[in-house]
Amino acid sequence: MTKSTTTVPQQRGDVVFRTLVTGAGITIVSTLGAVATFLVLESLPALNPAAEIGSAPEGFVAYVTPLVFGTLLAATMALIFATPLAIGIGLFISHYAPRRIASVLGYIVDLLAAIPSVVYGLWGIQVLAPTVQPLYQWLNEQLGWLPFFEGPVSGTGRTILTVSFVLAIMILPIMSALAREIFLQTPTLQEEAALALGATRWEMIRMAVIPFAKSGLLSSAMLGLGRALGETMAVAMVLSPAAVITFALITPTNPSTIASTIALDFPEAAGLDVNALIAAGLVLFVITMAVNVTARNIITRNARKGAH
Amino acid sequence: MATPVIRLAPWFNPALAIACLAIAAVAFSIPATTDGTEFNIFGTVFVAAVAYAVLSFVVTLIAQGPRIAKDRLMTTLVSAAFAIAVVPLISLISTVVSLGLARFDGTFFTSSMRNVVGEGGGALHAVIGTLEITALAALISIPIGLLTAIYLVEYGRGRLAKWVTALVDVMTGIPSIVAGLFAFSLFALFLGPGVRMGFAGAIALSVLMVPVVVRSAEEMLRIVPMELREASFALGVPKWLTVLKVVLPTASSGLITGVMIAIARVIGETAPLLIVAGFTQSMNYNPFDERMMTLPVFVYYSYASQGADTQAYIDRAWAGALTLIVIVMALNLGARILSRITQPHTAR
């Protein structure tokens, strides 16, 4: 009974526990440091200009440039397809759907995020590619004078355009979930004020919701882009790759992406090829990190702006 | 100029939609009945939707003026965006279920692919591999993730906490293949190039899983009311016991939900396991030695390297995909139901 009055609640347990949880925090910091260090260490041999890499006889830069191009092309196109859809879905769930079923609808879209990427790959190659192939044929006949749709048309539909369709579907859930959150944060008073002045629902959205959500939408697009850049299996399975730089989207020779090249080549690679692939992974790491940090900066800058 | 205002009956738009669908269905069934080609359901819906969007816009424009018409058009477009997102989901799930059921049988779950050429064989070795590697990854990530979340919520002040928060964000964005390359580089440095083992796969998955656990646990710990902690302090309970006996039990259902979702997130990962766990046709129970098959890699490999009897390989790939989806959906639904049941006032 009298024991607790004399002991200060700063016990040995407290010290141990504090050390333990701080240690966990430090583990995170050091893990990320280790990721960067090991990737750099293992890619150094390939970055040496004198290195003779079997899969890249003209040096690492010539090897990685078409891959960076393909990665950026596929991810950017996916973003172009996904952004309007994600905004539409976010608006539909936050402002159009009846409130009672809104959360169920949100869950249905979230289900898309739960599906493993290898299943998307299988679906993309067996269902989507044959379905869109006639569309490519038609696009080439009607709009073949555009560089994007020049022939020869791929007979299988396994082109970079199909890949970006699959990527767009894969980044939709994260982007629409973020858009929904942002739309729901619009000050209700502003929405009601717009409606009270006689605005239609769309006018209210354009005047009150969209201006409020603009920067949030930008950062959600950046996060979606980050996802699309690093997606591996769906691209590796759907695309029929070649080491080219081209804007032709529906031909059988497509620029490959960094991630899919690693997945396809790594199991059979040996010697310096392994180092070259790891160096390519390092490039991907740097690109996605730049994109994610930009997204994060937009968010924090906004949080600060909102606080004042 | 005053725009003419005629009120349209509330049933007008639904009726117009049904009419468009009916007319499109009739138009599309003419070639289907005459030349026996298949009825094009996507074409029907697409044509009907475009017709509805145009007609409802024009009618509203004439009857109620441009502002209302624009509003109507946007409602159609926004609803269409949602519908477009649901189409791939339905197509994907129906394909996986219908094609996956062909080999979703007893043999599939009781045998490996050892010495199997063509028909037969199964994914038992892959299921075992997935379970072992995911369990190891969970064993590594859950303690680190929970402790980090406790650090951030209960102890974290100053520069280290800021760094940890920022780096957890960065970790969320690491592409899964880069996590695989990291695990490979780590093990290759000590065990030589060409290293492949299940445990390395678990390390790669942990890199992906830890930030998810931290994020969700942090959120759950933050919503534990401050009053509970203060009441406990007032009774003279030291901080570490307060965290262990008051905060964690209060947040427990949310923490379990978060962990289940994190497991669901990594159990379908393919790319890192393809790199560091490799693939094999045989059973391997030891995650610390030799190649280990996993379910996602099994799906990929069955498709990517088809033998002479292609159909048997493709059927196995779809059966594996169905198994994966069932596991992931079960984890997600379980987490949902759990949080729904225990949500109101867990602190009793």
3-state SS of B253-308 is HHHHHHHHHHHHHHHCCCHHHHHHCCCCCCCCCCCCCCCCCCHHHHHHHHHHCCCC
Residue B258, φ and ψ in degrees, nearest 5: -60, -40
Residues of B in contact with A119 (CB under 8 A): 92, 96, 268, 299, 321, 324-325
Q: What is the pLDDT of residue B346?
A: 46
Cross-chain residue pair B78–A116, CB shorter than 8 Å = no
The gap from C-alpha B197 to its chain's centroid, in whole angstroms, comes to 25
Left (φ > 0), alpha (ψ -120 to 50) or beta: where does A198 sit? left
Nearest CA in chain B to A131: B42
Query: What digits encode the pLDDT tens for the residues B90-120?
Result: 899 999 999 998 888 888 888 888 877 777 7
pLDDT at B35 over 70: no
In terms of Cβ atoms closer than 10 Å to its own Cβ (0-12, 13-18, 19+), residue A8 is exposed
Which residues are CB-neighbours of A236 under 8 A, at least 6 positions away? A121, A259, A260, A263, A264, B271
Q: What is the pLDDT of residue B348?
A: 42
Q: What is the pLDDT of residue A150?
A: 80
Average confidence (pLDDT) over A246-273: 86
Cross-chain residue pair B160–A109, CB shorter than 8 Å = no
Cross-chain residue pair B271–A263, CB shorter than 8 Å = yes
Query: What digits encode the pLDDT tens for the residues A219-248?
Result: 889 989 998 999 999 999 998 887 778 888
* Closest-CA distance of chain A to residue B193, Å: 8
Looking at per-residue confidence, does B255 or B4 come out higher?
A: B255
Cross-chain residue pair B324–A92, CB shorter than 8 Å = no
The C-alpha torsion from A152 through A155 and A157 to A159, rounded to 10°, is -40
Cross-chain residue pair A230–B176, CB shorter than 8 Å = yes
Average confidence (pLDDT) over B186-201: 85
The C-alpha torsion from A15 through A17 and A22 to A27, rounded to 10°, is 130
* Closest-CA distance of chain B to residue A245, Å: 23
Residues of B in contact with A127 (CB under 8 A): 91-92, 95
Percentage of chain B exceeding pLDDT 70: 94
For residue A254, list its beta bridge partners: A241
Q: Residue B347: pLDDT band by 50, 70, 90 thresholds? A: very low
- Answer whether B262's CB lies under 8 Å from B209's CB: yes
CB distance from A35 to chain B under 8 Å? yes
Cross-chain residue pair B177–A42, CB shorter than 8 Å = no
Q: What is the pLDDT of residue B12?
A: 80
Q: What is the pLDDT of residue A135?
A: 86
Residue type, B28: F
Full 3-state SS string of chain B: CCCCCCCCCCCHHHHHHHHHHHHHHHHHHHHHHHCCCCCCHHHHHHHHHHHHHHHHHHHHHHHHCHHHHHHHHHHHHHHHHHHHHHHHHHHHHHHHHHHHHHHCCHHHHHCCCCCCCCCCCCCHHHHHHHHHHHHHHHHHHHHHHHHHHHHHHHHCCHHHHHHHHHHHHHHHCCCHHHHHHHHHHHHHHHHCCCCCCHHHHHHHHHHHHHHHHHHHHHHHHHCCCHHHHHHHHHCCCCHHHHHHHHHHHHHHHHHHHHHHHHHHHHHCCCHHHHHHCCCCCCCCCCCCCCCCCCHHHHHHHHHHCCCCCHHHHHHHHHHHHHHHHHHHHHHHHHHHHHHHHHCCCCCC
User: Which residues 63-92 of chain B have a CB within 8 Å of chain A?
Assistant: 67-68, 70-71, 74-75, 77-82, 84-86, 88-89, 91-92
Q: Residue B343: pLDDT band by 50, 70, 90 thresholds? A: low
Which residues are CB-neighbours of A153 under 8 A, at least 6 positions away? A133, A136, A137, A140, A250, A251
**What is the Cα–Cα distance from B70 to A307, expressed in whole angstroms?**
35
Mean pLDDT over the full length of chain A: 86
**What is the Cα–Cα distance from B164 to B172, expressed in whole angstroms?**
12
pLDDT at B193 over 90: no
Nearest CA in chain B to A93: B82
Cross-chain residue pair B71–A123, CB shorter than 8 Å = no
Cross-chain residue pair B178–A92, CB shorter than 8 Å = no
Q: Measured between CB atoms, which of B85, B185, B329 is closest to A278?
A: B185
Q: What is the pLDDT of residue B215?
A: 92
Looking at per-residue confidence, does B43 or A133 come out higher?
A: A133
* Closest-CA distance of chain A to residue B157, Å: 11
Which residues are CB-neighbours of A30 under 8 A, at least 6 positions away? none
Average confidence (pLDDT) over A281-293: 92
**What is the Cα–Cα distance from B13 to B79, expressed in whole angstroms?**
13
Which string of DSSP letters, residue by residue, matches A91-122? HIIIIIS-HHHHHHHHHHHHHHHHS-HHHHHH
Residue type, A193: A
Percentage of chain A exceeding pLDDT 90: 33
Cross-chain residue pair B182–A270, CB shorter than 8 Å = no
> Whose CA is closest to B213, among B159, B284, B102, B137?
B137
Q: Residue B195: pLDDT band by 50, 70, 90 thresholds? A: confident
Q: What is the pTM of this model?
A: 0.88
The C-alpha torsion from B69 through B75 and B77 to B78, rounded to 10°, is 160
Average confidence (pLDDT) over B227-255: 91
Cross-chain residue pair B296–A87, CB shorter than 8 Å = no
Average confidence (pLDDT) over B60-88: 87
Give exposure, B158-193, as e/b (b: 16+ Cβ within 10 Å). Answer: eebbebbbebbbbbbbbbbbbbbbbbbbbbbeeeee
Q: Inter-axis angle of helices B41-64 and B12-34, to 10 degrees?
A: 150
Q: What is the pLDDT of residue B7?
A: 72
Give exposure, A50-59, as e/b (b: 16+ Cβ within 10 Å). Answer: eeebeebeeb
Average confidence (pLDDT) over A159-175: 92
- Answer whether A86's CB lies under 8 Å from A172's CB: yes
CB distance from B171 to chain A under 8 Å? yes
- Answer whether A194's CB lies under 8 Å from A107's CB: no
**What is the Cα–Cα distance from B56 to A69, expressed in whole angstroms?**
43
> Whose CA is closest to A31, among B65, B277, B270, B211?
B211
Nearest CA in chain B to A276: B181
Query: What digits encode the pLDDT tens for the residues B309-321?
Result: 888 889 999 999 9
**What is the Cα–Cα distance from B260 to B265, expressed in whole angstroms?**
9
Q: What is the pLDDT of residue B153?
A: 93
> Whose CA is closest to A43, among A217, A272, A214, A295?
A272
Residues of B in contact with A135 (CB under 8 A): none
Nearest CA in chain A to B156: A22
Q: Residue A306: pLDDT band by 50, 70, 90 thresholds? A: low
CA-angle at A228, arms to A87 and A219, nearest 5°: 45
Average confidence (pLDDT) over A62-76: 92
User: Which residues 176-235 of chain B have a CB within 8 Å of chain A?
Assistant: 176-179, 181-182, 184-186, 188-189, 193-194, 207, 210, 214, 233
**What is the Cα–Cα distance from A250 to B312, expressed in whole angstroms?**
30
CB distance from A39 to chain B under 8 Å? yes
Q: Measured between CB atoms, which of A107, A117, A289 is closest to B173?
A: A289
- Answer whether A24's CB lies under 8 Å from B167's CB: no
* Closest-CA distance of chain A to residue B22, Å: 24
* Closest-CA distance of chain B to residue A139, Å: 17
Q: What is the pLDDT of residue A67?
A: 92
Q: What is the pLDDT of residue B36?
A: 61
Q: Is the ipTM of this complex over 0.85?
A: yes
> Whose CA is closest to B146, among A15, A16, A28, A30?
A28
